Amino acid sequence: MLLLLLACTDKPLNGYIVVVSGRVVDETGAGIGGAIVTLGTDAGDTGSAIVAETQADPDGNWSTPVYGTALDGNVLRAVYSAPGRSQTLARYTLNLRTPTVARLDPGPWQTWESSDRTLPAMELPAEGASGHAGVRVVTLLGAALPGATVTLRRGWGAPAADPVEDIVTTSADGGFGLDELPGWWTATVDPGETWGEARFGIFLDPSTPATVVGVVPTLDANWLTAALTWDAAPADLDLHLINPQKGTNGTADYHVWSGDPRHPETTSAPAEAQLLLADSDGTGPESLIVVAAPDVGETRLDAFDNSDATDVAASQLGLCHAQMQVWLDGQDPTYYTVSPGEIATLWHPVEVDDSVPYEVESYSLGALADDATAF
Question: Under a CB-based contact definition with an 8 Å cutoff, are residues 52 and 66 in contact?
Answer: yes
* Length in residues, the chain: 375
Give the pLDDT of residue 346: 96
Question: Cα torsion for 244, 245, 246, 252, to the nearest 10°?
Answer: 50
DSSP 252: S
CB of 237 closer than 8 Å to CB of 322? yes
* Residues facing residue 333 across a β-bridge: none
Helices (H) and strands (E) in the chain, counts: 0, 27
Q: Which residue has the higher pLDDT, 347 or 282?
A: 347
The secondary element (H helix, E strand) that includes residue 52 is strand 50-55
pLDDT in tens, 16-56: 677 889 999 988 889 999 999 998 876 544 456 788 899 99
Per the model's pLDDT, the better-predicted residue between 84 and 268 turns out to be 84
What separation in angstroms does the CA of 342 have from each of 147, 316, 349, 361? 37, 8, 13, 11
Residues 316, 309: Cα–Cα separation, whole Å: 11
Task: Provide the sign of the torsion angle of the four alpha carbons 132, 22, 314, 138, taken in this order.
Answer: negative
Q: Which residues contact 310 (CB under 8 A, 6 or more apart)?
A: none
Q: Residues 69-98: what's their mean pLDDT?
A: 76
Q: What is the torsional sign of CA 170, 175, 178, 183?
A: positive
CATH superfamily of this structure's domain 129-219: Carboxypeptidase-like, regulatory domain (2.60.40.1120)
In tens, the pLDDT along 222-265 reads 789 999 999 888 889 999 999 876 545 455 578 999 999 988 87
pLDDT for 348 equals: 94
Distance CA 18, CA 21 (A): 9
Give the 3-state secondary structure of residue 308: helix
Question: Does residue 354 register a pLDDT over 90?
Answer: no
Q: Exposed (0-12), middle (13-18) or buried (19+): which is 292, by Cβ within 10 Å?
A: middle
Contacts of 250 (CB under 8 A, 6+ apart): none
Pairwise CA distance, residues 5 & 95, whole Å? 12
Model confidence band, residue 113 (pLDDT cutoffs 50, 70, 90): low
Q: Is 38 helix (H, G, I), strand (E, B) or coil?
A: strand
Given a contact cutoff of 8 angstroms between Cβ atoms, the answer to whether 215 and 139 are in contact is yes
CA distances for 5 relative to 101, 113, 114, 270, angstroms:
11, 10, 12, 36
Indicate the pLDDT class of residue 199, thresholds 50, 70 and 90: very high
The domain 15-123 having CATH identifier 3.40.50.720: the answer here is: no
- The DSSP H or E segment spanning 175 is strand 175-179
Topology alike, domains 15-123 and 129-219: yes
Prediction pTM value: 0.85
Q: State pLDDT tens for residues 279-291.
A: 888 888 999 998 8
Which one-letter DSSP state was computed for residue 264? S
Distances in whole angstroms, Cα of residue 194 to Cα of each of 104, 171, 238, 289 = 52, 17, 27, 17
* 198, β-bridge pairs: 189
Out of 252-256, 298-302, 328-332, the most confident range is 298-302
72 closest CA partner among 88, 100, 103, 50: 50
**Radius of gyration of the chain from its Cα atoms, rounded to whole angstroms:** 21
Distance CA 210, CA 142 (A): 18
- Exposure string of 193-202, with b = 16+ CB inside 10 Å and e = fewer, is eebbbbbbbb
Q: Which amino acid is at 21?
A: S
- Looking at the DSSP bridge assignments, the partners of residue 325 are 227, 335
With contact defined as beta carbons under 8 Å apart, do 351 and 298 qualify? yes
Domains of the chain, residue spans? 15-123, 129-219, 221-375
- Strand, helix or coil for residue 116: strand
